[in-house]
Copies of this chain bind each other. A is one copy, B any other.
Amino acid sequence: MDLSQQIKTCIDGKREHYTTLLQRMVQQPSTVGNEQGVQTIVAEKLHELDLEVDVWEPDYQTLSQNPFFNSTRKSFKGSPNVVGVLPGSGGGHSIMLNGHIDVVPAGDLDPWEDDPFSGKVKDGKLFGRGATDMKGGNLALIIALETIKEMNLTLKGDIIFCSVIEEESGGSGTLSAIEKGYKADVALIPEPSQMKIFPKQQGSNWFRLKVKGISAHGGTRYEGVSAIDKGVLVYQTLLELEKKRNDRITDPLYADNPIPIPLNVGSFKGGYFPSAVPDHVEIEGRYGIAPGETIEEARQEFEDTLANLAEKDPWFQKHPVEVEWFGLRLPPGDCPLNHAFMDVLKATYTSIKQEEPVIAGSTWGTDGGLLTQAGDIPSVIFGPGTTSMAHFANEYIELDKIFETAEIITHAIIEWCNTNK
């Protein structure tokens, strides 16, 4: 029996066991601040697999000094990270398996057909908030670890499995793992990519702009200056900036993407009374950041563009647009296309699936950005879930996809960790 066959047999024999484990994980509503329950299940599992298990609550005082820190929390009490290490015998490549355990809130309950944390299985799908984003992916990693243990393989390189908190709220969990010194030659993150391979991941940063005008009575509106007029000019300038930034992107990975790094204006709000000239507009949005670009470089280009508005309209000379960066801030993630792990992953995928994998760039940010930029670990996304399921009601994951992904990952890890450095 060849390696692939052995892996498949191992996994197939424990499908029910894994399904139950995922149900238990999904039934823990691990929204921000409520991660303890599911992390306990994960840690128990890692102990059972005889890994070196590390459980800790990130220290706010230390972590908040990190320039990549981005959280509104003031404490991580009750929100532990869990890491399990399977040390290699030496000489091989190491890999970090990273998956976030936090989930976004269930949101409006009306559209949910079942309890959002039911973990119900129906027609080969497991339902619940976090099933696709990304506890199903995390399960694929656990399956890989368990399969390697079951097969009694001792690999040369280390495997570091990180079950992290806070990905949905700024990445403090992964940042804390990096600060603790966890490091590897490559990172694999099974975010919901529909089994596509994303060696590049879009970063993003939220912005808030304040545009000023001068109020006046609507009947003599020419006595005022409409902040909406000025805000429209700002809006058009942002669209031009988006075009300029995207025109620069020639990476064939993005060939099929009409706007690889979108600048999305999410809201435009100004004015207070029908009969008054509006004296302020607030614009909020999400600024896409290209793989290979730092957040600082991207912000600088954005701020410079708005500072140059006075060339279009002298109003902005004395009333410059105020720029605030807030909320979401995810650096872009990146693994060079010619990285050796990419070859391993692609070859494994092709041999198991009997077709070439789709290689693309993700349109969303992940903890891979922090791993790439703060941890200096090239990061690849490859997971069983579906993007369009994430954050929506009736979220589910197809169980078969998890097992298939687990097969490929297990195989790729064995290949990678047994290759000499």
Contact = CB atoms under 8 A, between A and B. Distances in A.
Interface of A: 202, 204, 206-207, 217-222, 226, 228, 231-232, 235-236, 258-259, 262, 264-278, 281, 284-286, 288, 327-328, 362-365
Given A274-B328, A275-B206, A221 B259 contact: yes
Given A226-B265, A275-B286, 19 more contacts: A202-B219, A218-B285, A219-B262, A219-B288, A219-B362, A219-B363, A221-B259, A221-B262, A228-B268, A232-B232, A232-B235, A232-B236, A265-B271, A266-B277, A267-B270, A268-B268, A268-B270, A268-B278, A274-B286
A284 B274 contact: yes
Given A232-B235, A235-B228, A269-B270, A264 B202 contact: no
B206 A274 contact: yes
What 10 A-B pairs are tightest by C-beta distance, nearest first?
A: A267-B271, A218-B264, A219-B363, A218-B286, A266-B274, A275-B286, A206-B274, A221-B262, A219-B364, A221-B264
B275 A328 contact: yes
Contacts of A217: 363-364
A266 B258 contact: no
Nearest to A258: B222
Given A235-B228, A268-B228, A268-B231, A274 B327 contact: yes
B275 A266 contact: yes
Contact of A271 (B204, B258, B284): B284
Contact of A267 (B258, B265, B266, B272): B272
A151 to B, nearest CB: 38
Nearest to A208: B274
Given A219-B202, A219-B288, A271 B266 contact: yes
A258 B206 CA distance: 40
A262 B222 contact: yes
20 contacts: A206-B274, A206-B275, A217-B363, A219-B286, A219-B362, A219-B364, A226-B265, A266-B271, A266-B273, A266-B276, A266-B278, A267-B271, A267-B272, A267-B273, A267-B278, A268-B271, A268-B278, A269-B269, A274-B286, A275-B328
A258 B50 CA distance: 81
Contacts of A288: 218-219
Contacts of A258: 222
A227 to B, nearest CB: 9
A330 to B, nearest CB: 10
B222 A266 contact: no
A219 to B, nearest CB: 4
Contacts of A222: 258-259, 262
Nearest to A364: B219
A238 B232 CA distance: 14
| Among A219, A269, A277, A363, residue most surrounded by chain B Cβ atoms (within 10 Å) | A219
A191 to B, nearest CB: 12
Q: Which of A236, A268, A362: most chain B Cβ within 10 A?
A: A268
A78 B262 CA distance: 59
Given A228-B235, A232-B232, A235-B228, A218 B262 contact: yes
A364 B264 CA distance: 39
Contact of A219 (B204, B220, B221, B278): B204
A215 to B, nearest CB: 10
Nearest to A326: B274
Contacts of A202: 219
Nearest to A362: B219
A204 B275 contact: yes
A117 to B, nearest CB: 23
A267 B217 CA distance: 13
A282 to B, nearest CB: 10
Contacts of A264: 218-219, 221, 274-277
